[in-house]
Amino acid sequence: MSSATSFDYGPVEVFVIEFEGDRPDPGVLDALRALSNDGTIRLLDLVIASRGADGSVVLSEIAELAGGGIEHVELGLQGLVSESDVAESLEAARPGLSVAIAAFEHCWATTLAERVAAARGTVVHAERIPAPAVNQLLHDVVFVDAGTADPAAEA
C-alpha cells in the first residue's frame, strides 16, 4: 500500500447488550447518540430485539426508540446486523429479555489504521476487555492485593 492509503472506515465493533424489558434505558441510547454526534463513533447499525413471554421475537426499528434522541441518528450501514446475528444473540435469552445489537465504527482509530497500512503493517490481534472486568481487576490489584481499604466501599 502506498503512503496515500485511505480508509472509508476505521475498526468496527459490535456490542450485544442484554437488558430487562422490551427496550434499553434511554440513558444507553443517549450515550450512543452523544458518541455518534461528537464523532467518537459512527453508529452503523442498531437493532433492538425482544423475546416475548411466548418465545416470539419482536424487532424494533431505530425510529421507534423514542428517548435519548437516538431516533435522530443516521445509521451508516443499516442492515449490517443480520437476522442470524439477532437469532444468535437471543438464543439464550429468557422470555422478557431483550438485546440491543449496536455496530459502530471507532472513528478515532481510522488514522491509525491508515498509518499502519501505509507502513505495510498488519494488526495481527486486537482485543477489547470489557469495562467491568478492567475495573474489577484494578480494584483487586489496588485494594485487595495491597491490603488497603476501598474508600468507595466505606462510603
Domain definitions of the chain by residue range: 12-123, 125-155
Q: Among candidates 37, 29, 11, 22, which has minimal Cα distance to 66?
A: 29
Instruction: Please state the pTM of the whole predicted model.
Output: 0.77
Contacts of 139 (CB under 8 A, 6+ apart): 150
Instruction: Report residue 111 as a C-alpha cell.
Output: 488514522
- Average pLDDT rounded to a whole number, residues 14-36: 88
Question: How much is the average pLDDT of 9-27?
Answer: 88
* CA nearest neighbour of 100 among 132, 68, 126, 123: 68
Best CA proximity match to 59, nearest among 78, 38, 34: 78
pLDDT at 1: 42
Per-residue pLDDT tens over the stretch 105-114: 999 898 899 9
Which range is least confidently modeled, 19-28, 44-53, 69-78, 143-152? 143-152
Give the residue with greater pLDDT, 66 vs 110. 110
Average pLDDT, the chain: 85
pLDDT at 2 over 60: no
pLDDT of residue 74: 83
Confidence at residue 18, expressed as pLDDT on a 0 to 100 scale? 93
